[in-house]
Structure 1
Amino acid sequence: MSILRISPVKRLVKSQFRWLCLLSLSLTLLLWIGHMVKRNTFHVPLHNRGLSGYARISESRKDQVLDIYCDRCALVSSSGQMLGSGAGEEIDTNECVIRMNNAPTVGYETDVGGRTSVRVVSHTSRNMRQDGKGRVFNALLKIAKKYPEAKLYAVTSEKIQYCDNVFQNETGKNRMKTGAFLSTGFFTMILALDMCDSINVYGMIDNNYCSRANHSVVPYHYYESKRINECRMYKVHENTKRGGHRFITEKAIYAKWATRHKMEFYHPSWKL
């Protein structure tokens, strides 16, 4: 299940749920979204129906519609490609900035910017079950209660099935039969297509990048310099029989989408 967090975050908020970091869940909380909406930070179209497939995590179960729309979005990858890019100022000029998982901005502002509008956290686990036994979901519900101005959303099972169908339509392969899980990037790209008129993608390599002899060797995450390098990680996952992400296949799908939508890729640029 993927979790969306909508935020004008400039700093991390500390709370009693610090252990969530161990589950790759960012503790960036969304305390000022109401203030941002009042100042028209986000564009809301006249039909104002909201985006389907994103359910609000709240005690009352009301106001579940995700109604953020943006003319121009920056989708910022967590890739080591961002190191030395100097793209931070450019990223922050976009109307909305979308980030993934627990990728930090503090200390990396020059390359990745400092603004965050939406953070997508992917966590597929029975810990997200909503029958009172899901530890992660229960913790998020407590956070929503403690910070009522925060807006946290979970991707619905119908939306996850939709994403599986998209993967199969684009590749001709059943996602579950391939033994793969869709990546956080895939869910994030789907969200960006839903909420953005145009998308500027930063730090994402194309599906042929790692097969080029002169490709740059960078860390998988820009904030984990001593971990496995990006291309090695992609190749391992692409060839894993069960439990991996099909990163390279997903990038080929994005290349198709870029021919049909307003989508540009930077650092590195893509030749479509």
Structure 2
Amino acid sequence: MSFGWTVLWSAVTVFVLITALFGYAVSKRRFDLIDSFWGPGFAVVAVVAFALSDRAWPGLVVVVLTVVWGVRLGWHIHSRNRHKDEDQRYVDMYRRAKGNPVAKMYRVYLLQGAIMVLVSLPVQFAQSRPASGVLFALGVAVWLVGFVFEAVGDAQLARFKADPATKGQVMDRGLWRYTRHPNYFGDACVWWGLFLLACGSWWALALVVSPVVMTFLLAKGSGKPLLEKDIVHRRPGYAEYVARTSGFFPLPPRRRGPGVGGA
């Protein structure tokens, strides 16, 4: 099946699943459920694309990498959120919505579904024209770096929060010593790796929009900026952490000195 038809069927699948999830979210009166679906949604798209392809082994590798990333992320977010109140971002969106708040939230869901189809284009394209040789190996390596950063960063933060002795403190250990968001950096690397795996022809270069969009969302959009919007005021010591720690790309901590969060 052609790439165009694969994208169409992927979009239809995402639309159906997003709509069903939204109906469930309305019944539960909790709209942050879309966050738990984000990773698994990409896994579903990958499986659909593979089912519509000739099922060659390079495409299978791309599917496996996408599914492993997506399922882990979905389970992590679900486990983190299931005993908490609804994410304040969604509460605020609902409260700010005028006219029909439910319809507004449905548009939010549809937007995330559209972004999912866009970002997953390399995964779909790789089913027909995957990279090979050194480029394929490089894509797997970049994916692996990203997956390790994301999974290890999430695990380190979870242990930190579970320790009563660190309550109220700023997490600045492990990978969090080098970047304030190792999970977001890792997420971006995963998608740059999947993009490289799709570069089996010059046409694939147009798909660079996918990792660019994902990186922008994480670093400048709904990821890092929203998370850090008011955390400096809520968390003592976070301003000093910002002053010495890279916001996204891992770097050695900056030395504290006059005018940089220290004496």
Shared fold, TM over 0.5 = no
Larger Rg, first or second structure (1 or 2): 2
Normalised by the length of structure 1, the TM-score is 0.30
More strand by share: 1
More helix by share: 2
Normalised by the length of structure 2, the TM-score is 0.31
